[in-house]
A and B are shown apart, each in its own frame.
Chain A
């Protein structure tokens, strides 16, 4: 099996496909030309930069640099969760909820994979740690953002029902039980769907990458199955933690519903 490297001219050829997007935007007067241009340049620059950063970090095999990049990834993913919420909690708590949960499931998930399953030597080899952490974070982030935004939206919509249950003497977790269940279900849906569709409808990105890089498809599949279970487990854990933390955030220790702790919905 051979691996065909791409050079810059190949990328330029691929970039010409953006002309289709430009044409669509122009033909339907979508006025997206500017956004298209900026975002595709941004994508190319960001990926090129992370390529160099990873190359450098892989060369070091230093736990400190690996941990440093991992921290940045967790913080950015936490920020991304908050920016996906239509009703944001006031103050710093949402970032803490997002990044805190991601830190926990990211560390647990990645640690489980490199220490318990793959076992590279040394175990902190960034070549294994960082891509796995990235996949765990990306999926947990989607799940957590969906869970918390559903939780805050439906708590707001079902305020009278939740307060009716509180008034009848329910504690905050049973009063918000239905709301929490709906939120957890929503947050878990993407990963459950991904597991059902993968291999038939879609070839997962990591597996595709490994196959393109010349790895035997069977070996790539084994890695992908492991990653899928890892992602599903980490997402489930993250969704549950974020769900309960979200309930704590919009209630107080006198079991009151505190929607005043959320900003009004974005217009």
Chain B
């Protein structure tokens, strides 16, 4: 369970919302509306005012590395720092079994572990990064377009893995541009709209300012 209290990011109004255990909230909004910055702020990778709680622990009262075991952020273009995926993954027997199980469910050949990261396809890297993010069972997942490089079949596999996470009482926050995926996955939806910085009142209607009340309205369940 993650609870966000008056989180202030860039020129968005202060955001407050709550995503319960086993719930998936989809974060929507046009490019530049602050979706990625919100996601990064949740994992405390970017400075932001406001409080975030995970299962009672407060962000700034928790050491940052420990916090990122609670709130796992997976960026849209995950980086690698080793030649092969194996070197970048924990490989004690328990974790290795977990890695192989996750790879099997994401249609990834175990041989990929020993190939240079640079020869893997974007989609393979994306799914391997998801594997990497799930190994230590973080209670809150913040995923930035985790299926952007995947075909329909592999997208379905990723969603299946995410549903399994939800069944296991984890909270999932998902940035997605894919309407069908939003419809399939969302228990809650958060719509971000950029604040129009030009003082042109005529344009206010096309670019509504998001208020605290609107945010909570937007958290209305879909199902």
Contact = CB atoms under 8 A, between A and B. Distances in A.
Interface of A: 158-171, 178, 252, 254-257
Given A254-B64, A255-B64, A166 B45 contact: yes
Given A163-B45, A168-B132, A168-B133, A158 B68 contact: no
Given A163-B45, A164-B81, A169 B68 contact: yes
A159 B66 CA distance: 21
Interface in B59-82: 60, 64-66, 68-69, 72-75, 77-81
Contacts of A178: 81
A158 B136 CA distance: 24
B115 to A, nearest CB: 17
A169 B65 contact: yes
A100 B64 CA distance: 29
Given A161-B81, A164-B78, A254-B47, A169 B136 contact: yes
Interface in B13-59: 43-47
A170 B65 contact: yes
B75 A160 contact: yes
B129 interface: yes
B81 A254 contact: no
A178 B79 CA distance: 13
18 contacts: A158-B79, A160-B78, A163-B75, A163-B79, A164-B75, A164-B79, A164-B80, A166-B65, A166-B68, A167-B43, A167-B45, A167-B72, A169-B66, A169-B136, A171-B65, A252-B47, A254-B64, A257-B45
Contacts of B64: 171, 254-256
Name the 8 nearest CB pairs between A and B, nearest first.
Answer: A160-B79, A161-B79, A255-B64, A161-B81, A164-B79, A254-B64, A169-B69, A167-B73
A254 B77 CA distance: 22
Nearest to B90: A168
Interface centre among B66, B68, B132, B133 (most CB of A within 10 A): B68
Contacts of B66: 169
A158 B133 CA distance: 19
Nearest to A174: B65
Contact of A167 (B60, B75, B77, B80): B75
B47 A256 contact: yes
A171 B44 CA distance: 13
